[in-house]
Amino acid sequence: MKCLFFWVKNIFILFILAVHCQSLHSATAQKKQWNVIVYIASNNNLHRYVQQNITQMQEIGSNKNVNIVVQLDNHGKQEVTRLFIEKGKSRRLATLTTPPLSVSGTPANLFDFVKSVVRQFPAEKTALILWNHGSGIKDPHIWGRTQPHMRDEAFFYNQKTQLFELNKDVYRGIAFNDVGRTYLTNQDLRTTLLKIKNELLGGKKIDILGTDACHMAMVEVCSQVKEAAHYLIGSQEIEPGAGWNYARALQAFTSKSPDAKEFAIQIVQAYGEKYNASFADLTQSAIDLSLQDALEENVATVTALMLELLKKDRSHLPYLINIRKSPLSTLSFLDNDYIDLPFLYQNLQSSFRSYRSNPQTATLLSALDEKLTEGRELLRRSIIQNTTGPRVNRAGGLSIYFPQHAIMPSYLQTVFARNTGWSLLLGQCMSHNVRNMHEQTNIVR
């Protein structure tokens, strides 16, 4: 019994010493300027690109300016591994094997990963990069929708232009964690990012929220994350399966510690450098979220003015619908419900300026013209960097949801829809389309 007591006592002392040393290490760890936290949800058909991207990160590696920390799925399992990226190699930090924390694509897993990084590696600034498939502002309501085997299959090689171009006849489904059969909805994203800001970063916003995924450069996504991040980086169109080139994106850290704006611009430029010579439908942009409230207010006013205009004179509605349908006046993407917002504003303004006003609508048209001018300037200032391929060179860097047939129920829950009333204008357009369809159906010869 005495020997047992002595053994237990020694184990307890060793435990206390270990805890003390760990606390001392955390307290005295050098606080770097940046944490680059890469959340690789790879339990899907993109898993083949994981090692390529990690190898790119290892070309730069963590240094005196930056900690690079990655979480990835152990493919086919409900478990994740966390790595500290060094130059030329990776050091395993932890492997989680017990759900729910080991299941990527969940709020609990994302929060726990960021918490582990923030506590172990203190830093002044934070870049959180979400690596996965992306569906923009849409939340899929059916799991297992048909999709190409790989994201690249939406591209074909055009022999004439010698560029990869989008095959718009391919329907692209949505995949996040195929094993866990789960994903982060837009509401999950907002809630989790706010929790990270308030509980882990002491109320400081995430400096850069990067989305290495498809269709995420949307004004509605900006509204979801504006309270939790300073800058959003994303693509209006779909991305090639290989995604970002992380060696180029992280290049700035080899010589200095960039500020958030510089780093955001560098990421977009690096993406352009990687794909400009080979992909015709290239898009990537960096958005300053500090202007998002003003942009929402502008869209809300434009929407209200247009609804009032339609209330006084319904003859304006077909013009709006024709702008939406015309390939010359609207730039849409592989998901045809997403269109370029700066281009829409430009063509709305030029179209409404050509209308013959009457005493009832003259004041409304003048106010609308003023607000569209204001909105275009806000967009110009918000989109701090934008790169495009030759087939989408009209893309301004930010999309908006403008379906022609039906509004997804989840859209009505978004911050943007609630704050702007944009869905009310969409509803007017759709009711007109339905009415026209019924009229055409009833015509007989």
295 within 8 A of 219, measured Cβ to Cβ:
yes
Q: Is the dihedral of CA 329, 333, 334, 336 positive or negative?
A: negative
Tokens coding 104 = 């990527």
209 within 8 A of 193, measured Cβ to Cβ:
yes
Residue-level pLDDT at 405: 85
Q: Which amino acid is at 27?
A: A
Number of H helices, E strands in the chain: 13, 13
Question: Rounded distance, CA 228 to CA 208, Å?
Answer: 10
Residue-level pLDDT at 176: 59
Nearest Cα to Cα of residue 343 among 247, 254, 219: 219
pLDDT tens column, 210-265: 999 999 999 999 999 999 999 999 999 999 889 999 999 999 999 999 999 999 99
Which residue bears the tokens 């003859």? 315
Question: Rounded distance, CA 35 to CA 234, Å?
Answer: 19
Tokens coding 288 = 């300053």
Q: What would you report as the CA-atom Rg of the chain, rounded to the nearest whole angstrom?
A: 25
Question: Rounded distance, CA 163 to CA 112, Å?
Answer: 41
Q: What is the separation, in whole angstroms, between the first and last Cα of the chain?
A: 104
- pTM, two decimals, is 0.85
Domain ranges of the chain: 31-292, 293-383+398-442
| pLDDT less than 70: residues of the chain | 1-29, 140-177, 356-357, 432-445
Residue-level pLDDT at 193: 97
Query: What's the length of the chain?
Result: 445
Residue-level pLDDT at 57: 98
Question: Rounded distance, CA 59 to CA 56, Å?
Answer: 5
Question: Rounded distance, CA 117 to CA 39, Å?
Answer: 11
Question: Rounded distance, CA 166 to CA 282, Å?
Answer: 10
Residue-level pLDDT at 400: 97
The CA angle 215-194-125, to the nearest 5 degrees, is 85
With H, G, I as helix, E, B as strand and everything else as coil, classify residue 72.
strand
387 within 8 A of 285, measured Cβ to Cβ:
yes
Question: Rounded distance, CA 225 to CA 325, Å?
Answer: 30
